[in-house]
Amino acid sequence: MMRTLMAAIGLAMLLLAAARILPGGLELRITPVKGGPPLLVLPLEPGEHFTVHYYHSVENAPIWETHSLDPSGRIFIEEERYLKFGAGMGKMPGVGRMVTRGPYEVIEDMHMPTGDFVLRIGSGGVDHTIIWRGSRTNLSARAPHVAVQFSARRVSLLHYLWRHLFPHDATPSIGNQIKS
């Protein structure tokens, strides 16, 4: 009996140690540059998309910027979609392919590395909103005029499993909108 108990404890410790080392996925954090808790924490799979949607401050036209993470956690911009060429918008030579989808101009197949990046969240009306797995989180309603850093990292299998059971307070429920 004692031998079985010791074997079970040893096996559990081995599994726990392996779960701390084995890769479990990726996590995107949107955190104020000046410090504080993250505004948003998104578990992601490699290649999975998240979108930054906002209204251009000059043109007041909607813009969608779709991003992904590679297996190491580097952030890439995959696509930009907008209603018209606004201030600062347009094709970048050698990056992606320009197409039209209905009323929108789209630069698709960009797959351009951005790495971690900083965004100054706009006020209401700009409505910087993160779209992920059907959820929409309006950062402008939560932290207008705050500079935030988008950063991603690989997480262990243990972290992944823990967050699957106990999501971070800043992780939206899938398909629901986080209120400010």
- What does the domain layout of the chain look like in residue ranges? 2-165
Q: Are 56 and 87 in contact (CB under 8 A)?
A: yes
What is the percentage of the chain residues whose pLDDT exceeds 70?
Answer: 80
Amino acid 178: pLDDT: 46
pLDDT score of 162: 87
CA-nearest of 20, 26, 11, 19 to 152 is 26
For the chain, what percentages of helix, strand and coil (3-state, to nearest 5) are there?
A: 20, 40, 40
What tens digit of pLDDT does each residue of 112-127 get?
999 999 999 999 889 9
Instruction: Indicate the residue type of 41.
Output: V
82 or 150: whose pLDDT is higher? 150
> Does 92 have pLDDT greater than 70?
no
What does pTM read for this prediction?
0.83
The string over 128-161, giving b where at least 16 C-beta atoms fall within 10 Å of a residue's C-beta and e elsewhere, is: bbbebeebbbbbbbbbbebebebbbebbbbbbbe
pLDDT at 79 > cutoff 80:
yes
123 CB-near residues (< 8 Å, 6+ apart): 140, 144, 145
pLDDT tens figures, 19-76 = 556 567 899 999 999 999 999 999 999 999 999 999 987 777 899 999 999 999 999 9
Q: Helices H, strands E: what count in the chain?
A: 3, 12
